Amino acid sequence: MSLPNEALQKLLQELENRIVTSQQQIGIAKAQVTTKQKAIRLLDLTSNEMSSLPKDTPVYEGVGKMFVGVPMSTVDKRLVAEKAELKSDVSGLEKKLSSLEMTHKNSMEHYERFVKSGGKA
């Protein structure tokens, strides 16, 4: 059984749209993962630098246009919390990326099968 020409074109267009959309989303997800991993490395570097300082070293954080003295333990806790949140975000993005790559792969397979069959559904 063969589908009408219009239905075949619509199906082919839908597959192409799904492929392009998944490619774009994969690129966005990869960029987000890279950005968050870079932020994690920066937090690690900051934490390592702070751990090499004596415990009584004055530490300041920027608040708007000024700096406020805060205990080193407060800064350490903030760094650990931010790192944990970023790792959680990266984990979620990697799951999303895996799903997007599977969608892209399946769409490409369907598209290739469709083209090789000559448009017979």
Considering the domain delimited by 5-119, tell me its CATH architecture: Orthogonal Bundle (1.10)
Q: What is the pLDDT of residue 10?
A: 87
Phi, psi of 63 (to 5 degrees): -130, 100
Q: Any idea where the domains of the chain sit in the sequence?
A: 5-119
Q: What is the pLDDT of residue 94?
A: 96
Span between the terminal Cα atoms of the chain, in Å: 8
Report the b/e string of 60-96 with b at 16+ CB within 10 A: eeeeeeeeeeeebeebeeebeebbeebeebbeebeeb
* 90-101 pLDDT per residue, tens: 999 999 999 999
Does residue 1 register a pLDDT over 60?
no
Does residue 5 register a pLDDT over 90?
no
* 17-70 pLDDT per residue, tens: 999 999 999 999 999 999 999 999 999 999 999 999 998 889 999 999 999 999
Q: What is the pLDDT of residue 45?
A: 97
Radius of gyration of the chain measured on its C-alpha atoms:
25
Question: SS3 string of 64-98?
Answer: CCEEEEECHHHHHHHHHHHHHHHHHHHHHHHHHHH
